[in-house]
Structure 1
Amino acid sequence: MTTLPLCCDPIQFHWPLPQAIPGAVLASCGFDPARLHGDDFARAGIEQSDSLQRSVAKRQAEYLAGRVCAQAALQRLDGRDYVPASGADRAPVWPHDIRGSITHGQGWAAAVVAARSACRGIGLDQERLLDDARAERLAGEILTPAELQRLDRSQIGLVVTLTFSLKESLFKTLYPLTLQRFYFEHAELLEWSSEGFARLRLLTDLSSGWRAGCEVQGQFCLTDGHLLSLVSV
């Protein structure tokens, strides 16, 4: 079983999003960098790289909480004891037969995992809702011209946060499959509903299987001023 570092709250297994992904497990926990203890990495059995040792408490606690969630989710999925390391591209390194994603920020972390046989790719992202003023400043960087044209400014904080988060989840889903980086201008949020469902479209070619025009379904939920989004294929 996972031994929790002192900076982390107990793990929760739940599915806050509107539609479950068959065979997927989502684990989450709260964390507090102020509770970070010097032996927390050793306590959890998680390797601490040189760069992590030099980083601030916030970064260390985020990393720990995300990896603890990933380890717990994998244990719940199939009983294996595995902590994903970070690759040269800083993405989590999952077992070859697993698809997974980690997100963390603002004192909360989560990981979702699924067997490769059940899911080709999966991405999870959590963001704090932007206020309207900041959303207005960032809209031009995150939204495509078509998205800007459709933008409902009465909900600008929600829409810009949602677009940002879904594109992050889309990247986390497709990068392990294509090994091609892409950015906000390379995907478009076509529609979303108050029930928590969304549809995105690629605007660039990433591989022979993922070309411009491909559409992907996403989902999201709102809790306590935070937005959680997930994309799976």
Structure 2
Amino acid sequence: MNATPALPACCTALDSHWPLPTVLPDTVLLSTHFDPSRLLGDDFQRSAVPPPPSIQRSVAKRQAEFLAGRICARAALQQLEGMDMVPAIGEDRAPVWPAHICGSITHSTGRAAAIVANKQHWRGLGMDLENLLSSERAERLAGEILIPAEMQRMAAASADQLALCVTLTFSVKESLFKALYPIVQKRFYFEHAEVLEWTEQGQVRLRLLTDLSNEWRNGTELEAQFGVQDGQLLSLVSIRA
């Protein structure tokens, strides 16, 4: 087995702590913190992560988040099945996993994470990390992210819950897309799903509002989970095999 390449100076040691309410069996989730100001010119080479042309041309922040996310993904695959591979970027911009693997990579300011599983156990995994919106920004963006039924429910929420509610709705719909798109191979948007309810313990229930396939039809309900830490919200949608 090849020795694991060195971690770049811009990334902290990988963390296997499960940051969500319910641990998913038969998955590996790893995260790291990264600092774009510590990215060095040869970090991709030293970490053995080939940068796609679009990443080579990008700014340090984008390079560091891509590198951090791919390092988490490679280590997660290694831990799951002893595989040594870095998921490429597909034509649809999504990570390209081995055919028998489902997974998700996410990053936000200073933090990246990846989750993987064998499709024997999980058909789809979608994970999304977002910085918590400020109340002012949440109010401004609510109309773009929330559908009328969600807006109506949000009107009953307290002012300090507004920002969490909008951030959560945005994040969990991103996670839903990441989990379902590889299965249905069809794009869908914020208005095509509805967050029905969520609890402060981190459980979420959501529903599709459009037909994506014969199996994934308008009205299908799914469950998600989320956690908030250090001003960031992490959400996960998982679809059992």
TM-score by length of 2: 0.95
* Aligned residue pairs, count: 233
Is 1:36–1:57's contact at 8 Å kept on the other side of the alignment?
A: yes
Gaps of 5+ in 2: none
Is 1:167–1:184's contact at 8 Å kept on the other side of the alignment?
A: yes
Residues 22-61 of structure 1: pairs in structure 2 closer than 5 A:
22-61=25-64
- In 2, Cα distance between the equivalents of 1:123 and 1:51? 23
- In 1, Cα distance between the equivalents of 2:5 and 2:219? 42
**Counterpart residue type for residue 206 of structure 2:** L
Matched, 1:173 2:179: yes
Q: Secondary structure at the match of 1:121?
A: strand
Q: Secondary structure at the match of 1:126?
A: strand
Matched, 1:86 2:89: yes
- In 1, Cα distance between the equivalents of 2:202 and 2:221? 17
Tell me what 2:225 maps to: 219
- In 1, Cα distance between the equivalents of 2:117 and 2:53? 30
Tell me what 1:126 maps to: 129
Find runs of 4+ consecutive structure 1 residues off by over 3 angstroms: none
Q: Sequence identity, in percent? A: 62
In the TM superposition, residue 51 of structure 1 has moved relative to its aligned partner by 1.7
Tell me what 1:138 maps to: 141
**Counterpart residue type for residue 227 of structure 1:** L
Matched, 1:14 2:20: no
Tell me what 1:4 maps to: 7
Is 1:77–1:113's contact at 8 Å kept on the other side of the alignment?
A: yes
Which segment drifts farther, 190-199 or 147-156? 147-156
Is 2:102–2:122's contact at 8 Å kept on the other side of the alignment?
A: yes
- In 2, Cα distance between the equivalents of 1:21 and 1:121? 12
Root-mean-square deviation over aligned CA pairs: 0.8
Is 1:4–1:10's contact at 8 Å kept on the other side of the alignment?
A: yes
**How far does the alpha carbon of each residue in 1:6-39 deviate from its partner, in whole angstroms, 9 at most, with x for none?**
2111111121100011101100000011011111
Is 2:89–2:95's contact at 8 Å kept on the other side of the alignment?
A: yes
Which of the numbers 117, 139, 150 marks the counterpart of 1:114? 117
- In 2, Cα distance between the equivalents of 1:146 and 1:50? 42
Matched, 1:64 2:82: no
- In 1, Cα distance between the equivalents of 2:17 and 2:71? 15
Q: Secondary structure at the match of 2:122?
A: coil
In the TM superposition, residue 153 of structure 1 has moved relative to its aligned partner by 4.4
Matched, 1:163 2:169: yes
Is 1:2–1:71's contact at 8 Å kept on the other side of the alignment?
A: no
